[in-house]
Amino acid sequence: MRRAIFPGSFDPLTNGHLDIIRRSAPLFDEMIVAVLNNPEKKPMFTVEERCEMIREVLPTVNTAGCTMLVESFSGLTAEFAKSRNASAIVRGIRAVADYEYELRMALMNRRLEPTIETVFLMAGEEFSYVSSTLMKQVFELGGRVEGLIPELVESRMREKKN
């Protein structure tokens, strides 16, 4: 049984995240989308809202028979992965700018839990500039984000704005 976690803030879920889920799913039997509950940050969506949106959107993605679960977590990613008996932490890399931060995280997570490997997947080039932060910023300023975030997420963002 190959189980992975795909951790992140997902504030909000983007099509870049879905691309990584679609690409990584065939590699595992089960994958937990692990939504970080970070009280220090002031997110646009509560952790419950983020989990709910991901659960609603996931059935639209071809996950190649991989069982998909969505859970929130607090504290260390490595500890959460261990508590779920995961053997891998999945992370997406968009461009070289992501590499240094991701490398540091992967090495720290390996130090914390040596049996858990970080698996990097390259996001599709069409998502190389898509980040949750940029999507929120563009949306707030009235720019178009269609095709870059799921429609459901966009409508929830609209509800938040009104």
Query: Would you call 94 a catalytic residue per the annotation?
Result: yes
Does 76 sit near ligand PNS (CB under 6 A)? yes
Does 12 sit near ligand PNS (CB under 6 A)? no
Question: CB-hemisphere CA count at 13 Å for 87?
Answer: 7
Tokens 């998909």 sit on residue: 68
Query: Would you call 72 a catalytic residue per the annotation?
Result: no
User: In angstroms, rounded to a whole number, what is the distance separating the alpha carbons of residues 43 and 37?
Assistant: 10
> Contact 138/146 with Cβ under 8 angstroms?
no
Does 43 sit near ligand PNS (CB under 6 A)? no
Q: Identify the active-site residue in 3, 132, 136, 156.
A: 132
Amino acid found at 27 = L
Strand order in the sheet with 88-93: 67-73, 30-36, 3-8, 88-93, 117-122
Which residues 102-141 are close enough to bind ligand PNS by CB under 6 A?
Answer: 105, 108-109
Does 8 sit near ligand PNS (CB under 6 A)? yes
Q: Identify the active-site residue in 50, 91, 94, 136.
A: 94
> Pick from 3, 4, 6, 7: which binds ligand PNS (CB under 6 A)?
7
Window contacting ligand PNS (CB under 6 A); options: 6-14, 46-54, 62-70, 139-147: 6-14
User: In angstroms, rounded to a whole number, what is the distance separating the alpha carbons of residues 157 and 162?
Assistant: 9
Does 44 sit near ligand PNS (CB under 6 A)? no
Query: Would you call 82 a catalytic residue per the annotation?
Result: no
Question: Which residue's Cβ has the minimum distance to ligand PNS?
Answer: 8
> Contact 32/8 with Cβ under 8 angstroms?
no
Structure tokens at 91: 């992370």
SS3 14: coil
**Catalytic positions:** 17, 41, 94, 132
Return residues touching ligand PNS (CB under 6 A): 7-9, 36, 76-78, 105, 108-109
